[in-house]
Amino acid sequence: MSGDDLDVLGALHDPVRRALYDFVAAQGREVGRDEAARAAGVSRTLAAFHLDKLVESGLLETGFRRLSGRAGPGSGRPAKVYRRSPVERQVSVPPRDYRTLALVLAEAVDALGAEEAAENAARRLGERAKAADLRETLGERGYEPYDEDGVVRLRNCPFHVLAEERPVLVCSLNLALCQGLLSALGDPRVSARLDPRPGECCVAFSKTNED
Amino acid sequence: MHLAQLNVAHMRAPVDSPELADFVAALEPVNALADAAPGFVWRLKGGDAPTDTIQHDYGDMLLVNFSAWASRDALWNYVYRSGHLEVLRRRREWFHRMAEPYSVMWWIPEGHTPSLAEAMRRLATLKADGPGPEAFTFTDFHPAPGEHAEAVDSTRR
């Protein structure tokens, strides 16, 4: 475990700070102080204080933007905005390191040309999940699902580090895992497919019987 | 500087065979994605038709992709974060597994259009000497001359 990461995550102990962080993270875009304050139910001054603490600890990033709806003369100076930092923090007590082992196994799959066997294993793992609701299951697994035009998209890739190292293998396994989850849910009207976007997870879910 | 990338693939069957039909059908949409992708600079075309593959003297069963991009992120987002990923996922249906490097990148001056011969030489350099500033890969990336590694990292998501 990195002591630095534990210190950083300690910044989330305060409930207001935690609420502000969760809100900014869930938006997937830059968020202004007013909006964050309203969402957390606190004053703008208090929100600004905690948001800046989150920036200091490296959990949020900040910038200045003219917020939408205000443009041209009289729109004032740019407002301070916040977004989630892409830096990954990990704390495990006692120390655990599944990442290194996963990279070893990924390299072995590659060397063996065992992609199909690995995809089948991922699908079976998904099928064994105890899942009742798609959004809930995806949320629990860290995918951060959101709706867009009737499609369930995933804001976060839980396998990000591995997906950067071995994108084709990891995204294929992720798709197979998601297809397995769908089987466990037993809803044949929904299908999972690869539809990657920069900065998000590669899988999207859509209704299949609407054609 | 722009980032040039060459990749080669050994086809399991001739390009006009039924085995390759799904791949050939994907060429038009995938090439359209590349042409419209942010940071796309240039790609070597095989002809006017969207399904024309690049003609060359390196063997009938070798398929060649050769393009230039504004940055590492631009190329990465096209290759792995677009509809192109689905084609990559299915690559084993159409192409043989390669034990040696099949993809190489290097930096080119903006406005310079490298030849396929130069690209093949870069791939040969990668095979012979391993990754270096003259020939590298996503895994062993080298930033453009004069650019700091940190500056590259900060743009990665």
Class of the domain covering B2-154: alpha beta
The pLDDT value recorded for residue A65 is 84
Q: What percent of chain B has pLDDT over 90?
A: 80
Average pLDDT over residues A138-157: 95
Please check the confidence at residue B13 and state whether its pLDDT lies above 80: yes
The listed CATH number (1.10.10.10, 3.40.47.10, 1.20.1260.10, 1.20.1740.10) that belongs to domain A3-84: 1.10.10.10
Q: So where are chain A's domains?
A: 3-84, 98-207
The pLDDT value recorded for residue B157 is 39
CA distance, residue A114 to nearest chain B CA (Å): 11
From the list A115, A164, A198, the residue facing B92 with the nearest CB is: A115
The phi and psi torsions of A209 (rounded to 5 degrees) equal -100, 25
CA distance, residue B94 to nearest chain A CA (Å): 14
Average pLDDT over residues B2-29: 96
The pLDDT value recorded for residue B98 is 86
- A169 contacts on B by Cβ (under 8 Å): none
Q: What is the pLDDT of residues B69-88, one digit of tens each?
A: 999 999 999 999 999 999 99
The pLDDT value recorded for residue B150 is 47
The pLDDT value recorded for residue A69 is 60
CA distance, residue B89 to nearest chain A CA (Å): 6
Q: What is the pLDDT of residues A37-74, one digit of tens each?
A: 999 999 999 999 999 999 999 999 999 987 656 556 66
Q: Measured between alpha carbons, how far is residue A191 from residues A125, A129, A145, A199 in Å? A: 17, 17, 15, 22
The pLDDT value recorded for residue A71 is 59
Burial class (CB in 10 A: 0-12, 13-18, 19+), B55: exposed
How much is the mean pLDDT over chain A? 91
Q: What percent of chain A has pLDDT over 70?
A: 93
Interface of A to B at Cβ within 8 Å reads 86, 113, 115, 164-165, 167-168, 171-172, 175, 193-199, 202
The pLDDT value recorded for residue A72 is 62
Give the residue, A1 or B17, on which the prediction is more confident. Answer: B17
Q: So where are chain B's domains?
A: 2-154
Cβ–Cβ < 8 Å for B72, B4:
no
This complex has an ipTM of 0.87
- A194 contacts on B by Cβ (under 8 Å): 85-86, 89
Binned at pLDDT 50, 70 and 90, residue A93 comes out as confident
The pLDDT value recorded for residue A2 is 58
Cβ–Cβ < 8 Å for A175, A169:
no
Least confident of A17-21, A63-67, B147-151: B147-151
Asked if the Cβ–Cβ distance from B86 to A194 is below 8 Å, we say yes
Closest Cα partner for A191 from A173, A171, A209, A207? A207
Q: Residue A113 and residue B99: Cα distance in Å, rounded?
A: 10
The pLDDT value recorded for residue B146 is 80
Q: Measured between alpha carbons, how far is residue A75 from residues A65, A70, A71, A192 in Å? A: 11, 5, 5, 44
Which residue type does A208 have?
T
Q: Residue A167 and residue B90: Cα distance in Å, rounded?
A: 13
Binned at pLDDT 50, 70 and 90, residue B149 comes out as low
The pLDDT value recorded for residue A160 is 94
Binned at pLDDT 50, 70 and 90, residue A1 comes out as very low
